[in-house]
Structure 1
Amino acid sequence: MARIGHRRQQGQAGFSLLEMLITIIVLASGLLAIGSMYGAIMNANTLSKQRSEAVVLGEKKLEELRAQSYASLVSGSETIAAASSSGGSANYQRSWSIAVASSGLDYKDASITVTWTDSKNQSQDIVLSTRISNVSATPVMIP
């Protein structure tokens, strides 16, 4: 007698087309999520690098101001191009202001602001401040 139709034999294993489609959809969704997360991580990494470069530029200017004579400290600004050797991607504007202390003490307040435009075309800035004294360092002799 001939059988009509087809029945699965006992012990036969495999995947149906529907199971394969569901697997592909789940896998594709996971890969897309990882891809978008990778992009966000790369943007955050770039901003972090730019912020670190800006802090270094601000600290460098603070040290330059500290090395000057007290009487010659004046406000100013300058533009600093990205260092191609470091893989920098931003141009920085560095400005500093010097203010004489209002308390009558012999020091000046120095404030350095470093600004730049990030990869999302948003303005970013950092501000560093310090006080520079007119007291010269004299060595102390211990008997």
Structure 2
Amino acid sequence: MTKNANFSQLVEGDYQLKRLVKQLDQLNHLLQIVRSAVAPELARVCQGTAWSGSTLLVAVPGSAAATRLRQAEPAILAALGQAGVHATAIRAKVQVSLQQGNPMQTKTLRMTEPAKAAFGQLQTQVDDPELKAALANLLRHHQKK
């Protein structure tokens, strides 16, 4: 027996699961309508849909995609209307967790031993108390590493 057959039997036996699968299918169908009504670049980042009253919510990964989605709202509403779906508005929901890519790594700067020695020597030669304190703080910070 295949996985699809097992899944179908499982769904048929559970009313709540059957209802959820039907709702998921409907939301996926709405997502396909939205994707077909917008530019391919925007379609790729539209990740999901949900209803809030008669407003269709579309999950996108960032504010740029949200802006483009708002600009495409008339075309999306028209496509939904042609499919027999009544929606009064489209609202983008920015989902930071959908953003792709790796976060930027911070650089760890380390001061070499000769540099530490040079700053230490400079600290003993400086008369300005604020500069002397700043150099002491710098050296203290780099001693931890």
**Range into which the TM-score falls when normalised by the shorter chain:** under 0.3
TM-score by length of 2: 0.27
Counting strand residues as a fraction of each chain, which structure ranks higher?
Answer: 1
Structure (1 or 2) with the larger CA radius of gyration: 1
TM-score, normalised relative to structure 1: 0.28
